[in-house]
Amino acid sequence: MAIEDFFDHRCSIYHTQQESTSPGYGLPGSPKFKYPKQPDLEEVPCHFGVRSASIQIAQQQPQNDMDSDIKLTLPAGTDVRLNDKIVSSETGLEYTAGQPRNIRGHHMTVKIYRTAQQRPL
């Protein structure tokens, strides 16, 4: 079985862009980070993996929230960076990328975190 057979999902990757605007009156601008409207990489083959032992449920008001550790596996050489926005093509859910790791030049793994509001249980 080849690693390409493992990539059963698709995602889009947005790199952060820095912009600096001055408030005026000769004051220096502070950097602001944003994501572009169009993804830098589209329809990237990937695999979203959720370990069932990592699921945590927090009792909150007005609903319970579910959180888990999600590992994104990508082909080797994919341009993914820390704090990139990852959007699943199947579900439309948005994630923020952690530190990417190159696994022996074979594939890449990135721990991703949910950023958008999640539905109640």
- The whole-number pLDDT of residue 31 equals 82
- And the tokens for 32? 């602001």
Could you tell me the pLDDT band of residue 114, with boundaries at 50, 70 and 90? confident
- The whole-number pLDDT of residue 1 equals 66
24-72 residue pLDDT tens: 787 887 888 889 999 999 999 999 998 766 677 777 777 777 677 789 9
For residue 121, pLDDT over 50 is answered with no
For residue 19, pLDDT over 60 is answered with yes
Q: How far, in Å, CA of 44 to CA of 23, rounded?
A: 39
The H or E element that residue 4 is part of is helix 3-6
Domain at 3-17+32-114, CATH homologous superfamily: Protein of unknown function DUF3599 (2.40.10.370)
For 116, the 3-state DSSP assignment is coil
The model's pTM: 0.79
Quote the distance between the C-alpha of residue 69 and its chain's center: 12
Question: CA neighbours within 13 Å on the CB side: how many for 81?
Answer: 9
